[in-house]
Structures are given as C-alpha cells and as structure tokens.
Structure 1
C-alpha cells in the first residue's frame, strides 16, 4: 500500500493537480467498491493531499471520528469517481455544479515534505550501500597487498 500511496503522491506532484478520475485509474480495483479508495482517502485524512470539498474545521482529535471520516471519505471518493454532477452511495448523496469525477486534488506542503524525505532516505540507503561496497573492496585490496609483503 505504501508503494501505491507513493505512486499517487508522485503523480500529483508531477502534474500539479490531478482529477479524481485519473487517481481512480491508478487504484487497483480489488473489491470494486469504496474499500479500493482507502489508500487515497488516508492520504487526504493525513493531510498529504488537498481536498477542497472537505471542511477544514472538523475535529480531527477523536480517533473514532477520524476513522469514521476516513470511511465516509472513501465512500465519497468511490461514488464521485464515476459520477457526473450527483452521486449516491450507501444512502449519502454528493452533488456539485461541476462534474464530480473532474474534481482536482493537489499536494499540500506536508505532502511535498513527505516526498522530499522519502527521496532523502532512498539516497542515504544507496550512498550507504556504495560506501559498504567501497570499504569491502578497499579492505580486501589492502589485505591482499599486505599479504604479499
């Protein structure tokens, strides 16, 4: 799921703003319902992706509220990913003056920082691996030449 989340974040970073229909096409359709949208919904609830249709004054402190918000958000994303101007799922209706599947999502500052941190960690791992290889080669070369003396 982390690879999928990174794929979504990198796509949004590359394009600036991405339509819900495009993000929906990136998600594997394992269940064929709202559960397929949980990875993307969690990116929104963690504050990595900006959703302008979500109220900002909601109380995020309560863990029960956050999990409920995640579930309802997954419902909304599933329903609106293929909806035109009005979508209904599990008794909840979403409507808008613009086409729902064309709703745009963008990265937040936290999202950009997360991607930069991920790139830094990957660079550090590669650098450490190269240093380890260089150290092993250097040590074996020195040992070889010291054995010849």
Structure 2
C-alpha cells in the first residue's frame, strides 16, 4: 500500500508538471499554429511619404525653372524638416514615395500644381491630427498649418 500511494503521488506530480509545462509552452507561442500578424504601419507614415514627395516635387520644379528657386527652396526645406522630424518620431521605415512626374512647363502652371499638392497634403495632415495621440497632435497640427501656409504662399 505504501508503494501504491507513493506511485500515485509521483504520477500526480508528473502529470501536474507536464500540464504546467504545456501551458507555459502554449503561452510563449511554440504550440500556436497561427502566424504572428503583420505589424501595422505607423499612422504618421503617410505624412512622411507626402513630405518626401513634396520636397522632391519642389526640387523638380526648381530644376525645371531656376527663376522659381528663391520662392520654392524654403518650402522644399520645410518639407525636408518635416520628414526628418517624422522619421525621428516614428522610427526608420522605408518611405514609399510615388514615382515622380515631370514638372509643368511655365511658372504659373508649376505653382498651381504645387498648390494643389499642398492642399491635398494639408487635408491628410488635418485628418492625421484629428486621430493623433496627444503626444503627436502638436507635430501633426504644425505640419497641417505649414502645408496650408505653403498653399497660400503659392497663390
């Protein structure tokens, strides 16, 4: 009898240990059959992409018509500063900038095209500001205001 009680006691401990080990392994993901979900892109990534695209658009416009350099260079520099700050906040991510198109022919057409791009980008920044965390709202609001100012400067 003593032997039977001891065997049952050891079996219970072994069973309990096995169950706990299995639970621990399941909790760490080794026994999960579903893959980890893909990480979601940062909500500020579209603002970074637009900042880079706008800076590139200004650079193309300046190359196409050097007489616009004094007017457009500060605006391009603003977008590069936004891109640098957004990169600092969201971390290094591979920005996806749309392929560039050629700059319009004349200064009036160039500034009109850039103004439309600024207005569209400003709407994106306003939407991002509305959904941003309190820590990011100041940055997104500042970018939205700057883009609105650029659109007015291009009138």
What range is the shorter-chain TM-score in?
Answer: under 0.3
Output the TM-score relative to the length of structure 1.
0.23
Output the TM-score relative to the length of structure 2.
0.22
Larger radius of gyration: 2
**Higher strand residue share:** 1
Q: Per chain length, whose mean CA-contact separation is higher, i.e. which structure has more relative contact order (CA < 8 Å, sep 6+)?
A: 1
